[in-house]
Structure 1
Amino acid sequence: MEIGNHSWGTDFILVGLFQYGQMDTLLFTIISILFAVALIGSITLVQLIRLDHRLHTPMYFLLSQLSIIDMMYISTTVPKMAANFLSDTKTISFLGCEIQAFVFLSLGGSEALLLGFMSYDRYIAICQPLHYPVLMSRKICCSMVTCAWSSSSINALVHTLYAFQLPFCGSWVVNHFFCEVPALLPLVCEDTSQYEHTILMSGLVILLLPFLAILASYARVLVVAFQMRSGKGQSRAMSTCSSHLTVASLFYTTGLSTYTYPYSLHSPARDKVVAVLYSIVTPVLNPFIYSLCNKDVMGALRRQMR
């Protein structure tokens, strides 16, 4: 089946994070350790939320969904990246590349929207506590998760189908460590400026709007927190919001720098470093930021260990 000037049987070559060489074994070890830490941290957090009845609240339900996304997110890129360090052939099939791009975009969009919904949860809990049971019912929480998954999957499907029907040519060498749509555009034989504008608009909707909503909601939360007479209440509100804002800032700023930055100013080295931050570092840090800064989670961990 021909598509443009290529066929399904053609393989892409992944350059990788660094040029492959004598440090492959060391890099494989580091990447594997980070992957294991991310999986263990996310699985532990999901299990704690499932087993401890004190964590059966909307906030921790959304957090468990975020941990599941993180597990799938890092599993989309790291195993293939690690395998290439030990493999003589650094290739990925056309279909495999297409699937990886679709899954990565779906999970990234889901995480972006879910982080925004989590900030809404904290806003309602602190600013409108009397209405919290109604505004954050289980039905509404499930609707939020469904909205995040479905809308991001549709967006990812549209971009993947369009990007992979473009005519690729040249050496088919992707200067990246996984199949990300922006990294594939330099291989296209025709002008992609119009499509780049579409990517920019998608990035603004899925990344920038939720980030602005988070900043606006937490600005209101800070005002309410400083008006609290209880120092313990202020501390609890600040602790909860600061951990979420830390995660969101790292994820959104790095994602925006890839999907909304002018493509004429992109460089492969910069793009790969930024991609490491939002595709590997963020899933590794998320479980620890949310657990170490959260007394409820640490208390649940101590109870389960006993």
Structure 2
Amino acid sequence: MNQKNDTSTDFILLGLFPWFRHPNLILIIILIYTAAFTGNAILLLLIWLDSHLHMPMYFLLSQLSLIDLAYISCTVPKMVTNYFTGKKNISYFSCATQLFFFLTLGLAECILLTLMAYDCYVAVCNPLRYTVLMNPNTCLQMAAAAWIGGALAALVHTIYPMNFPICGSREINHYFCEMPAILRLSCMDISAYEMVKFVSTIVFLLIPFILILTSYTLIFLTVLRMNSQKGKNKALATCSSHMTVVSLYFGQAIFIYMTPTLAHTPEQDQIGAVLGTIVTPMLNPLIYSLRNKEVAGALRKCMGKCYN
């Protein structure tokens, strides 16, 4: 590939799994992207149109769908475009922008999943105070905290890595500008920044994960004390879908960001990124719609109106 037209500040994205040249791989990614975009868009539309879904739980779910739509769209279209055009370069500004939005959306999702766990906890463990604790103003404040908190932290973790000096190759062994891949290009000692990254990971990954586990432990103990088997099944069904999402998302994020950059390979980073940024956004609407009677009912109602 001739990159002679690239400027000195351009980076070269090697693409998704450059060592695995399977012709159907890009087609699979396009199909997953289409499914993820369509599923999250439909979920957003259902929550907006159906008055029965105008509740705190679904408001937070709509924010999750919005994040997933943007999350998968800030990486996959550029990767697919590079694949079909044969161009691998990305400008310094575009790389920084992609990194900022990727981190903003990822961190916002961590915060939002924690807030959704709290919503489940209040609904199951303190139902009589649910409408007071989860009022509309509180929900708006939760959404704002997720977006603003994610953006502020992302700004810090975009400015620092993008200003580290790069000596030699500017090839990023990834399909988008991700922090660990960029840090590998630096020719200076990044141990101080690795410590900052580790502390941030504790704040945005480990602590939220512990809070989520605490919420579900309290929910589980409350469910065990219920006399009604129907009530137990309903409570567990309400929160099991959320726990599935949490396991998928936090698992790969903790592996990538809670360990030093050089402790895992670029291949492992890419596999983790695919799970977090491509697979999970596709699964989220499927998990919530297939395991939630209200969402499934709203979908049937909407489809009924379309065919009548």
Give the TM-score taking structure 2 as reference length. Answer: 0.94
Q: Which residue of 2 aligns with 1:264?
A: 262
- Partner letter of residue 258 of structure 1? I
Deviation by residue 1:65-123 (Cα, 9 ceiling, x = unmatched)? 00000000000110011112212221111110000000000000000000000000010
d(CA) in 1 for partners of 2:85, 2:22:
13
Mapping 1:160-175, distance limit 5 Å: 160-175=158-173
- Partner letter of residue 196 of structure 2? T
Would you say 1:219 and 2:201 are equivalent positions?
no
Deviation by residue 1:8-40 (Cα, 9 ceiling, x = unmatched)? 85211111122278645x222211111110010
Structure 1 residue 148: deviation in Å?
Answer: 0.7
- Partner letter of residue 133 of structure 2? L
Higher mean C-alpha deviation, range 220-229 or range 40-49:
220-229
* Count of aligned pairs: 299
d(CA) in 2 for partners of 1:28, 1:269:
17
SS at match of 1:301: helix
SS at match of 1:189: coil
Q: Which residue of 2 aligns with 1:87?
A: 85
Structure 1 residue 232: deviation in Å?
Answer: 1.6
Q: Which residue of 2 aligns with 1:230?
A: 228
Structure 1 residue 303: deviation in Å?
Answer: 1.1
State the superposition RMSD in angstroms: 1.5
d(CA) in 2 for partners of 1:265, 1:110:
26
Q: Which residue of 1 aligns with 2:295?
A: 297
Of 276, 279, 283 in structure 1, the residue corresponding to residue 277 of structure 2 is 279
SS at match of 2:12: strand
Structure 1 residue 181: deviation in Å?
Answer: 1.0
SS at match of 2:189: coil
d(CA) in 2 for partners of 1:225, 1:36:
38
Cα 1:131–1:19 change in 2 (3 A) is same
Cα 1:8–1:236 change in 2 (3 A) is farther
Cα 1:228–1:22 change in 2 (3 A) is closer
d(CA) in 1 for partners of 2:27, 2:219:
42
SS at match of 1:157: helix
Q: Which residue of 1 aligns with 2:39?
A: 41
Deviation by residue 1:157-193 (Cα, 9 ceiling, x = unmatched)? 0111111111112110001111011111111111001
Higher mean C-alpha deviation, range 254-263 or range 117-126:
254-263
Mapping 1:6-45, distance limit 5 Å: 10-19=9-18, 23-24=22-23, 26-45=24-43
d(CA) in 2 for partners of 1:170, 1:80:
24
Q: Is the 8 A contact 1:13 1:174 kept in 2?
A: yes
- Partner letter of residue 82 of structure 1? V
Higher mean C-alpha deviation, range 112-121 or range 205-214:
205-214
Q: Is the 8 A contact 1:8 1:95 kept in 2?
A: no
Deviation by residue 1:47-79 (Cα, 9 ceiling, x = unmatched)? 111111111100000000000000000001100
Mapping 1:146-185, distance limit 5 Å: 146-185=144-183
Higher mean C-alpha deviation, range 78-87 or range 292-301:
78-87
d(CA) in 2 for partners of 1:264, 1:65:
34
Q: Is the 8 A contact 1:20 1:85 kept in 2?
A: no
Q: Which residue of 2 aligns with 1:66?
A: 64
SS at match of 2:230: helix
d(CA) in 1 for partners of 2:44, 2:8:
40
Cα 1:17–1:201 change in 2 (3 A) is same
Of 110, 132, 135 in structure 2, the residue corresponding to residue 134 of structure 1 is 132
SS at match of 1:13: strand
d(CA) in 1 for partners of 2:164, 2:25:
33
- Partner letter of residue 201 of structure 1? V
Deviation by residue 1:273-292 (Cα, 9 ceiling, x = unmatched)? 11110011110100001110
Of 190, 197, 212 in structure 2, the residue corresponding to residue 199 of structure 1 is 197
Q: Which residue of 2 aligns with 1:4?
A: none
Q: Which residue of 2 aligns with 1:248?
A: 246
Q: Which residue of 2 aligns with 1:115?
A: 113
SS at match of 2:75: helix
SS at match of 2:236: helix
Q: Which residue of 2 aligns with 1:56?
A: 54
Q: Is the 8 A contact 1:9 1:93 kept in 2?
A: no
Q: Which runs of 5+ in 2 are unaligned?
A: 1-5
Q: Is the 8 A contact 2:174 2:266 kept in 1?
A: yes
Structure 1 residue 263: deviation in Å?
Answer: 2.6
SS at match of 2:31: helix
SS at match of 1:190: coil
Mapping 1:91-106, distance limit 5 Å: 91-106=89-104
